[in-house]
């Protein structure tokens, strides 16, 4: 069994807190098979790169639990379809594909075993993916502390939600923020609201308030002005995919923050586990950027705010060039330039 702020595995179903409705309502959605899990990921009931990966792993187990038992050939074809369905839910966060590859490997290794044994093996692997993620976040938090050793008062600015809701718990960027608070620092966080989906206003602000960490909510277009006042010690964000050269795909708006941080001489940190690093993608230009429903822009919380007939562009992510990133905080340590070399070395440790 596994239960976090966002994800619960009961043994035969996957329950997800409906992040579309938070913080106004705290409702759990139940997924009984891989198709329902894929829909939940696509519709953003669950979101955030590591949480998507964890959910997909449990979705794969649910898919297997409903598998046809007639022949091995049929089973193999069916499990390929399970993987395809889950993999087609969202394109940018590499944790999704990483978790599914890991699950598929276990399935292939277990192919000679009977149904119940394979089911147990797959469930164990999904639970390991979930538990590992939590451990990595805590370690990332500890590693991130080193960047703020000389400071008692720390003011950070964050974007989107890279917290407990986006992971198995604790969070990546928010994990570092939690670790700073736990280390006794006076922490204050400027939270970008993160249009269009408002993950900052709805989710990060909720998590910080719940954890008694001082949070100041700002609209995205206020970040530059806040930096200009000299109020921000560092920017810290999560990531959806880190390419081999250190380019980082993260929530749309991250790139603008990195450019502004450079202009104001503010360190720009990315916190992410190894499951977010994709050495098979050479640089950011090769990362697929999801484009989402136009209604996310023309509407706020279901209410139209723009005229009918207006054209819309709604990329969900952008890519921040590696030269704008001061350091990448991982569970294996803090990495700086040259990222091409240092990210590769990380996988050799
Ligand atoms: O579209 P979302 O809400 O899934 O985007 C989430 C982000 O961009 C997060 O910053 C990223 O996944 C890191 S979560 C630890």
In a domain, 288, yes or no: yes
- Whether 192 sits among the annotated catalytic residues: the reply is no
Q: pLDDT digit string (tens) for 111-151?
A: 999 999 999 999 999 999 999 999 999 999 999 999 999 99
Cα-based angle 337, 149, 165 (whole degrees, multiple of 5)? 75
Q: Do 269 and 312 share a domain, yes or no?
A: yes
Domain tally for the chain?
A: 2
Pocket of ligand 1 (CB under 6 A): 47-50, 93, 160, 162, 166-167, 172, 199, 237-240, 250-251, 316
pLDDT at 69 over 80: yes
In a domain, 145, yes or no: no
Quickly count: other Cβ atoms within 10 Å of residue 233's Cβ.
17
Q: Strands 277-278 and 241-243: what pairing?
A: parallel
Q: Do 82 and 207 share a domain, yes or no?
A: no
Q: Do 75 and 164 share a domain, yes or no?
A: no
Q: Do 133 and 154 share a domain, yes or no?
A: no
Give the DSSP H or E segment for 67.
none
Domain that holds residue 8: 2-137
pLDDT at 176 over 90: yes
Q: Do 262 and 162 share a domain, yes or no?
A: yes
| Distance between Cα 166 and ligand 1 center (Å) | 7
**pLDDT, position 301:** 84
Q: What is the domain-level CATH number for residue 99? A: 1.20.120.420
pLDDT at 340 over 90: yes
Q: Do 105 and 192 share a domain, yes or no?
A: no
Full-model pTM: 0.97
In a domain, 142, yes or no: no
Q: Do 268 and 120 share a domain, yes or no?
A: no
pLDDT at 292 over 90: yes
**pLDDT, position 349:** 75
Determine the average pLDDT of the residues in 284-293.
98
Q: Strands 214-218 and 186-192: what pairing?
A: parallel
The residue among 103, 137, 171 that closes a domain is: 137
In a domain, 80, yes or no: yes
Give the DSSP H or E segment for 299.
strand 299-300
């Amino acid at each position: 069994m596994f239960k976090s702020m966002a994800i619960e595995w009961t043994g035969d179903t996957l329950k997800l807190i409906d992040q579309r409705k938070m913080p106004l309502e705290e409702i759990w959605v139940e997924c009984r098979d891989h198709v329902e899990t894929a829909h939940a990921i696509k519709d953003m009931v669950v979101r955030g790169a590591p949480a998507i990966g964890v959910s997909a792993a449990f979705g794969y187990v649910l898919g297997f639990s409903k598998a046809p038992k007639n022949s091995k050939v049929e089973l193999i074809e069916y499990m390929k379809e399970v993987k395809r369905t889950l993999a087609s839910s969202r394109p940018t966060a590499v944790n999704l594909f990483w978790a599914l590859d890991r699950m598929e490997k276990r399935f292939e290794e277990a192919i000679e075993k009977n149904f119940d044994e394979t089911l147990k093996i797959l469930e164990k692997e999904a639970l390991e993916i979930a538990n590992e993620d939590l451990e990595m976040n805590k370690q990332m938090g500890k590693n991130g502390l080193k960047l703020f050793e000389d400071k008692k008062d720390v003011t950070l600015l964050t974007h989107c939600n890279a917290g407990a809701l986006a992971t198995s718990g604790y969070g990546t960027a928010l994990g570092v923020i939690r670790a700073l608070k736990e280390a006794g620092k006076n922490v204050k966080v400027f939270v970008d609201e993160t249009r269009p989906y408002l993950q900052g206003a709805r989710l990060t602000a909720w998590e910080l308030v719940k954890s008694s960490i001082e949070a100041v909510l700002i609209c995205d277009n206020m970040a530059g002005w806040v930096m200009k006042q000299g109020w921000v010690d560092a920017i810290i964000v999560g990531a959806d995919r880190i390419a081999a050269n250190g380019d980082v795909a993260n929530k749309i708006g991250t790139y603008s923050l990195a450019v502004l941080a450079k202009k104001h001489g503010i360190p720009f940190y990315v916190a992410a586990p190894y499951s977010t690093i994709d050495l098979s993608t050479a640089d950011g230009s090769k990362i697929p950027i999801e484009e989402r429903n136009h209604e996310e822009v023309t509407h706020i919380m279901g209410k139209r705010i723009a005229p009918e007939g207006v054209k819309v562009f709604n990329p969900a992510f952008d890519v921040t060039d590696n030269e704008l990133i001061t350091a990448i905080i991982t569970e294996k340590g803090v990495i700086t330039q040259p990222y091409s070399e240092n990210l590769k070395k990380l996988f050799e440790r």
